[in-house]
Amino acid sequence: MRMFKEGVDQASGMRRMTNKKPVRVIAIASGKGGVGKTNLSVNLGISFCKLGRKVALLDADMGLANVDILLGLHPKFNLTHVLSGEKTLDEIVLEGPEGLKVLPASSGVQHMAELGTMEQAGIINAFSEFEQDIDVLLVDTAAGIHGGVINFARACQEVLIVVCDEPTSLTDAYALIKLLNRDHGLSRFHIITNMVETLQHGKALYQKLCKVTDHYLDVALYFTGAVPFDTSLRKAVQKQQAVVELSPNSQAALAIKNLAKKINNWPVQRGAGGYLEFFVERLIESSQLGESTG
């Protein structure tokens, strides 16, 4: 296992990352599984690429990774090999549709689902050495509220939370927002409603979540958009292709491409918070916090 030499590796890594262009870093999370979060992450990533952005998609579901499966990719190496010191992040990058750069994780490896502080630090160090030219980094977190999800969400500039019309989806999304707000100071969240019947249906779900957060939390929720239930999505998954590629004129694909255009117009943070080293710094802070409270 590659060990993270705090102070030495951290400082040298951060120096290597200076003077690079701003990178938009977005976490895509959900309170529970089964809401279509990873499928949305994949299609958003490809849609950003179609807009001319250079995009990397990090599969941060360390134990149940499936970004590569959704795209029919066959990684020879993944984040397990990065943590062991066998490979760098640049050496495990897979080329997806439209030039999407995929950073695959492992699947069915319990140890990867339960990373400790030192292993998380190994990922941090790997990012400090990441040499890919990107404009956007999408972080597809695991579902739920365990430590890895929290660390990645805290490190990103923006947090997208995906919900669907299930009571458990809304209650678990609220639990995630509550934890990130009360324990970690995050106060801004972007909501995407998935698998809805109409735009109005999606907005109604958003309002239902807002009603609870407005009453109990000091947070701002922003409705980013809605993706309709569409049989084209299931067909795309079965064919291991992105729906924006297989059925670009389907309702779901059009909705996702509109989401990408909307997000692409968000202001890009500049200065200390707008570069990839900011993501690394925030991961370091999260990792140290977990160590001190664990």
Number of domain units in the chain: 1
1 lies in a domain? no
**Which residues pair with residue 57 across a beta bridge?**
102, 138
**pLDDT per position as a tens digit, 60-102:** 887 677 899 999 999 999 988 888 889 999 999 999 999 999 9
Residue 12 placed within a domain: no
Asked if residue 89 belongs to a domain, the reply is: yes
Does residue 16 fall inside a structural domain? no
SS3 256: helix
Per residue in 215-238, is it b (16+ CB within 10 Å) or e — as a string? eebebebebbbbbbbbebbeebbe
What is the pLDDT at residue 288?
A: 62
Q: Is 289 a member of any domain?
A: yes
pLDDT band at 111 (very low <50, low <70, confident <90, very high): low
Q: Which residue has the tokens 């998954």?
A: 237
Domain around 155: 21-293
Structure tokens at 15: 């120096």
Q: What is the mean pLDDT of residues 111-115?
A: 56
Name the residue with tokens 């400090």. 128
**pTM of the predicted protein model:** 0.86
Tell me if 135 sits within 8 A of 53, measured CB to CB. Answer: yes
Q: Is residue 277, in this structure, part of any structural domain at all?
A: yes
Calculate the CA 208 to chain-centre distance.
24
- CATH number, domain with residue 56: 3.40.50.300
Separation CA 286–CA 69 (nearest Å):
29
3-state secondary structure string across 128-147: HCCCCCCCEEEEEECCCCCH
How many CB atoms are located within 10 Å of the residue 251 CB?
16
